[in-house]
Amino acid sequence: MISINNDTCIRCGKCQRVCPAFIPVIEKDEQPLLRHPEVCIGCGHCVDVCPTGAYTHTDFPAESIHEIKRDILPSAESLMELIRSRRSNRTITATPIPQRSLDMILEAARYAPTAQNSRQVHLHLITRDIELQEVEAATINYFMRLARFMLFPPVKLVMRPFLRKLYDEVPALMAMNEQFKQGQRPCICNCTALLILSAPKGYSFGSQDCNLAYQNASLMAESLGVSQIYMGFVQTAMFMMGCKRAAKVLGIPKGHKAFAIMGLGMPALKYAKYTTR
């Protein structure tokens, strides 16, 4: 439910300008109107932009509304330096990621925009060693089954001319399998946490929304000194093995698809420079 206090509304029209559902009708010297408030998408723009606090919105009680501390916001230069310095730092150590850092990374992801404010992105954090091992094993085993099929002589004879780039990856897969046998986790880069960003598989903006959330989480991780790596091998294996099997391996809700997977860990070193791109 939305309402406007006529006594405190100054008819500035800011709410009318920012509302994506065109609900407020504000005319100078006239009583403010709310047209079809039932179509509100719950974005909170009206509440946040109102300079006098004239709005009451049941989705946003008073305790959920906060003044922006603009004095501590990063400058454009400092934000750009963070973006330029961000790397996929694979020198992951066994040092646990501080819980406060994990909480801030998750909160950053939650604050990412979503299509029509639908908020269908689901965040699942894996930190238990046994679950990390299960993801690693499922990934490497899938690729090794694929590699064995590709190397079967009749298949190789027919497919290699058409899939040269894929066949060029086979030696790397074999090397990763040897690392796995030695107790390492090459597919997840020995990360100590995995952040799975998923959405219902039939949701049209699942990929866009999940990767917007990924970007927020990645920048927050970088600012906290936590290494973040896009899990390409895991993402590919989960996509190819199907949503049902992938959901079980990753621990995400039934009917969801993982659109982005981030590996997290404390790095052994920091980069001193960045190169122009």
Q: Is the pTM of this model over 0.85?
A: yes
Interstrand relation of 193-200 and 256-265 (parallel, antiparallel or unpaired) = antiparallel
pLDDT tens, residue by residue, 196-206: 999 999 999 99
Handedness of CA 176, 182, 187, 189 (dihedral sign): negative
Rounded Cα gap, residues 95 and 268, in angstroms: 9
Strand partners, 147: none
Rounded Cα gap, residues 250 and 204, in angstroms: 21
Which of 56, 4, 7 lies closest to 26 in space, CA to CA? Answer: 4
Quick check: 69 and 177 in contact, CB under 8 A?
Answer: no
| pLDDT for 45 | 94
| pLDDT for 156 | 75
Catalogue all structural domains in the chain, each as residue range(s) with its CATH number.
2-64 (3.30.70.20), 74-277 (3.40.109.10)
Strand partners, 71: none
3-state secondary structure (DSSP) of residue 13: coil
Quick check: 227 and 90 in contact, CB under 8 A?
Answer: yes
Q: Kindly give the parts of the chain with pLDDT less than 50.
A: none
| pLDDT for 29 | 78
